[in-house]
Amino acid sequence: MATPRGQPQAAVGGGGGAGAAGGPPGGVTMRMFHGDVFLGEAEVFPMKQGSEGSLPFPSNEIRISHLSPTSERCPPLAILQTIAPFSVRCKLQAKLMPPHPSLHRLYLTCFNEYKSAVVVVGDEELHIVAMPSKVEKVPCFWCCSVRSGIYAASVGMLNLRCLAIVFDLDETLIVANTMKSFEDRIEMLSRRMDVEDDPVRIAGMSAEIKRYIEDRELLKEFIDTDTVTDNGRIVGTQKEEVLPISGGQERVLRPVIRLPERNAILTRINPEIRDTSVFVKLRPAWEDLRSYLTAKGRKRFEVYVCTMAERDYALEMWRLLDPEANLISSHNLAERVVCVKSGSKKCLQNVFKDKGCHPKMAMVIDDRLQVWDEKDQPRVHVVPAYTPYYAPQAEMANAVPVLCVARNVACNVRGGFFREFDENLLRKVFELMYENELLDLPYAPDVGDYLVCEDTNFAPNNKDAAPISEGMSGAEVEKRLNGLAYSRDQKQIPSSTRLSDDEGVAIRGIPGGTSIQSNGGSLATTPSLFVTVLQEIGRLCESRVEFRSTVSSGKNMQFSVEVLFSNEKIGIGIGKTRDEAQVQAAEKALQNLESNYLSFMAPVAGVLNKDVNRPPGSGNGFLEDMTLSDDISMEEPSGSTLKEQDHSIALDRLSSVISLIRELCLEDQHVVFRDQVQDSGSALNGEYHFQAELGGQILGRGIGLNRDFAKLQAAQEALKTLKTTTDPQIKKHLRPTAATGKGLQLVEVFEFSMKACDTV
């Protein structure tokens, strides 16, 4: 049971104890001071017997320098256990009875106001925490050690239910190019085209070059005239003031052109040097993620940036992303934007060198996992690299854009972390007494507990997914923006290319020589109709189709090919040859696309239709996970197992449909599901009725044998209504970009693909 605030169980009066109930008798007597004010004598007991010689207080005296900030809702021990788990060094209790009045006042202040008394020893803080006691009648304390400064920063974050989020810049949030980097990439692609025989690949490279040239011409016009011509409209520069960062700097006005329709910005790092002009593409849905971080003025995350780019460039890129300094104030900008030397490892300990946060309370958004220190990798949410020139429509091909997924992940991480903090750690800390031992402390949450670990052997997010680097690396930025490396006759080609001259991309660390073919690249010498149809679907949906092949290490030496559609695994094929495996994989991918599409569009009531031979597993909505082995066998699931699988699939689909509905609706609008009891007969029959409503308008109804099936049917009808509605009373609740013709396009694509497969 939690001790009531302001009512410590250790009170003055009654007999005293020569030794701590939670420690060995006969502790070390030390004098306690607050500054130079004598507080009294205390007996100090190490947490481990026989460790009296390793007590943390120098000169055998306890000299308190200050009290910690008041915590509104979290007792100090809960904060210390979160940021420095199991760091209790010793126990203290007043030696004399009754205790010295000053020591008694200190105890009551710390206990009632959720403060700790801090002793500074080098770069370490020793926090003396007032504890209730079962038997002692004198002030009792635990002493915990923590890195200096981290406690003060964590108090505010934990009380506000706030975590930290660290962003990478290049190819995570933006892609930036100078004239030189544009020219390098155009030349690189031109050389590739000269040696390429595949007409599909040649067409893809040609389109990519065209996109580079179009943006290069805009950048050249900006450099020459401080204007750009966008769709026949001349747009001039606006002078944007750069707020001075801490430490002071002269007032700077940068010429900037913002092209929101293109998701692009043109800026000049050094306003006096035109060749430091940069063309920047912002990743779609950044506004959604940014608005979540600052919604209604409530701080959900403290924001940091960690990049391998040059500092002036990094500061300007962040200013473009956060022009009103809502995410990072100008006062904190110098400490919050951290630049790491190219080739070095990123590390959260270095990001928080200002001691503003503990790494356990931080998550990272980055397009590369391996650039982070190994101990921080569990806290990294890896996003696919942003490739607006190679795959301009890839961001919108998925139902939920990449940064909206990142927003949802951040929301789930924060919810999971503080659910564990409130329901487990906080509750158990309130039950702890002075007499408890170190192992009685509860588990402390870590952000890494709530992020899915990425597969480092093969990841669709791997930098090798696109043929060449789209933006500038840290070394390129430093070289190209220092005003010295802009000679137009230089034609140096970047060394960090992603594709070798061979077909496909070799992925390190995968046995059997795994390779990937991008959209248009085929593993088979003679593509089957299945492969052709699948590639046509990718073209019409503006989504990348990739084939990943491996060779099993078993005695049968079978080939396996996996199909990825917009980075989702949708088909697996196994055969004696690579061609045979690819054809099988493409066929299964088409069947899974058809099945997923039909089950998504057709309302489900009661029992879902599914392939009973499909093995259970944690799939992605298209394909259940399977492991390649020499002998593959599947058991027929029992009836009860089928029902459980049906229910599990219904819940997964319900979650996906609701996510899609949320993406269509304005942020403050929510679809409500109402449980409708039709009559007593339906209730007796176990039949459930739900209807989905938005702003009082009924969007869909569902009937099922349990609540989730009924709700799923109502949600699917609601989604269909939202996509096709012309009712102004409903449309006013939708985002302006919600109206799209992609749904009808997908209908045509799937009808075409299935008809084509039927003819094989």
Helix (H) or strand (E) holding 561: strand 559-565
CB 471, CB 174: distance < 8 Å: yes
pLDDT, residue 301, reads 95
Those residues whose C-beta lies under 8 Å from the C-beta of residue 597, and which sit 6 or more positions away, are 746, 750
CATH topology of domain 665-676+686-732: Double Stranded RNA Binding Domain (3.30.160)
pLDDT exceeds cutoff 60 at 674: yes
683 or 676: which carries more pLDDT confidence?
A: 676
The mean pLDDT value for 689-705 works out to 86
Sequence spans of domains, the chain: 28-160, 174-282, 283-452, 534-597, 665-676+686-732
pLDDT exceeds cutoff 60 at 515: no
Which one is the CATH code of 283-452: 3.40.50.150, 3.40.50.1000, 1.20.1250.20, 3.40.50.1100? Answer: 3.40.50.1000
pLDDT, residue 622, reads 37
pLDDT, residue 482, reads 53
CB 46, CB 52: distance < 8 Å: yes
383 or 465: which carries more pLDDT confidence?
A: 383
* DSSP helix/strand/coil, 724: helix
Residue type, 703: I
pLDDT, residue 278, reads 96
* Cα 63 to Cα 53: distance, rounded to the nearest angstrom: 18
Second CATH level (architecture) for the domain 534-597: 2-Layer Sandwich (3.30)
171 Cα distance to chain centroid: 15
Q: Within 13 Å of residue 529, how many CA atoms lie on the same side as its CB?
A: 9
Helix (H) or strand (E) holding 149: none
pLDDT exceeds cutoff 70 at 634: no
pLDDT exceeds cutoff 60 at 635: no
pLDDT bucket at 392, cuts 50 / 70 / 90: confident
pLDDT, residue 667, reads 63
Q: Do domains 28-160 and 534-597 have the same CATH topology?
A: no
pLDDT, residue 212, reads 96
525 or 307: which carries more pLDDT confidence?
A: 307
Residue type, 3: T
What integer best gives the mean pLDDT of the chain? 77
The CATH number that domain 28-160 falls under is 2.40.290
pLDDT exceeds cutoff 50 at 758: no
pLDDT, residue 178, reads 95
Lowest mean per-residue pLDDT among 18-27, 246-255, 391-400, 427-436: 18-27
Lowest mean per-residue pLDDT among 20-29, 74-83, 142-151: 20-29
The mean pLDDT value for 641-666 works out to 70
pLDDT, residue 680, reads 46
pLDDT exceeds cutoff 70 at 473: no
* Cα 614 to Cα 634: distance, rounded to the nearest angstrom: 8
The mean pLDDT value for 61-70 works out to 94
